[in-house]
Amino acid sequence: MKGFDFEEERIKQEITKLGAKRVLLQLPEGLKPEGLRLAKIIEKNGALPIISGDPCYGACDIAVNEAESLDVDLIVHFGHSKLLMHERVPTIYVEARATVPVDKAVEQALPLLSRHVKIGLATSVQHLEVLNQVREILVRNGKTVIIGDSGQMSYPGQVSGCNYSNVKSIADEVDAFLFVGGGLFHALGVALSTSKPTVIADPYDNRAFSIDDEAQKIIKQRWASIEEARSAKTFGVVIGLKPGQKRVDEALKIKNLAQKHGDAAYLLAAKEINPETLLEFPSVDAYVNTACPRISLDASGKFSKPVLTINEFMVAIGEASWENMLKKGLFES
């Protein structure tokens, strides 16, 4: 697959250094087709590769349990940077940095940023390499550029699906954000976390566009879900079973709060939280999702019942205000 750096030499060196005999390869959707090629390289290097076929959406989802059950002595996780998590199995992270040029997409973004002077710059781990180049293009065009560093992410300017601390740390200082990368997912997170105009520079399609209408649409959907959940009498509180999504204490807190408000609440645990899983509990009126918050936001139309984030639940039961939650961010604690 062209356009990404899979760091094959580093993988070989790490396998040799650790003396790994059995290696689990974990790739996110989109990069999985590279699995066979990478497995061949590892096998030639003297270790037995096993490719994880399960979906993988983030570094919150390292396949530790699977590695232990397969007696694997090294996990190679692709496409994400390391989260601060306890590692029971040695894991190396191959961030799969993109090698596509970004200048054309950034040039396209300039007219969309014409009314703004102070620009906050953000990207996913794939495009961190080019952040300084993007900064130079913006500065040459009369912009002041700020890159946030909250200290919570592996790199300044980086955002992940559920951590926007870098952009939030500079939201008060900038007029708008420019997100560099493909797809709507991360850019939507920037807009929803900061309430600032947000433009995407997409280097894969060499185009730029504003994400603001899409963000407004999601905010309206979230308000409708909260309104619907206000009349719920029975809540299902969902605990995620992926290693970095398990928040049992938060779930217990939600259950107690629901009961304090006179509602019934049940704890449900699941690895994959999808419409099919939740359909099995027809007497639940609304769910509170303590696992991946993006399931509530990005897949909301697919569920037949409201699936609230923790912050949204607090609004639904009157323990927090909608306005404050929008300021704080729809899904970050």
Instruction: Give the residues lining the site for ligand SF4 (CB under 6 A).
Output: 57-58, 60, 160-162, 245, 292, 294
Q: What is the DSSP string of 120-181?
A: EEEE-GGGGGGHHHHHHHHHHTT-EEE----SSSSSTTB-BTTB-HHHHTTGGG-SEEEEES
Of 186 and 305, CB closest to ligand SF4: 186
- Least CB distance from residue 331 to ligand SF4, whole Å? 9
- Least CB distance from residue 160 to ligand SF4, whole Å? 5
Name the residue among 172, 183, 163 with its Cα closest to residue 30: 183
- Least CB distance from residue 139 to ligand SF4, whole Å? 31
Q: 111: buried, middle or exposed (CB in 10 Å: 19+, 13-18, 0-12)?
A: exposed
Of 161 and 181, CB closest to ligand SF4: 161
- Least CB distance from residue 99 to ligand SF4, whole Å? 23
DSSP 34: G
- Least CB distance from residue 240 to ligand SF4, whole Å? 8
Of 123 and 160, CB closest to ligand SF4: 160
Of 60 and 310, CB closest to ligand SF4: 60
| Cβ pair 278, 236 in contact under 8 A | yes
**Paired strand residues for 209:** 200
H helices, E strands: number in the chain: 13, 15
Of 207 and 302, CB closest to ligand SF4: 302
Half-sphere exposure for 182 (CA within 13 Å, toward CB): 12
- Least CB distance from residue 183 to ligand SF4, whole Å? 13
Of 169 and 245, CB closest to ligand SF4: 245
Helix boundaries (H) for the chain: 8-18, 35-44, 64-69, 103-109, 131-140, 165-168, 185-194, 212-229, 248-260, 275-279, 293-298, 310-316, 322-328
Of 232 and 292, CB closest to ligand SF4: 292
CA distance 184 to 247: 27
- Least CB distance from residue 58 to ligand SF4, whole Å? 3
CA distance 116 to 285: 44
- Least CB distance from residue 225 to ligand SF4, whole Å? 18
Of 189 and 236, CB closest to ligand SF4: 189
DSSP strand pairing (74-78 vs 22-26): parallel
Report the b/e string of 2-19 with b at 16+ CB within 10 A.
Answer: eebebbeeebbebbeeee
Of 160 and 225, CB closest to ligand SF4: 160
- Least CB distance from residue 45 to ligand SF4, whole Å? 30
Residue with tokens 């983030």: 58
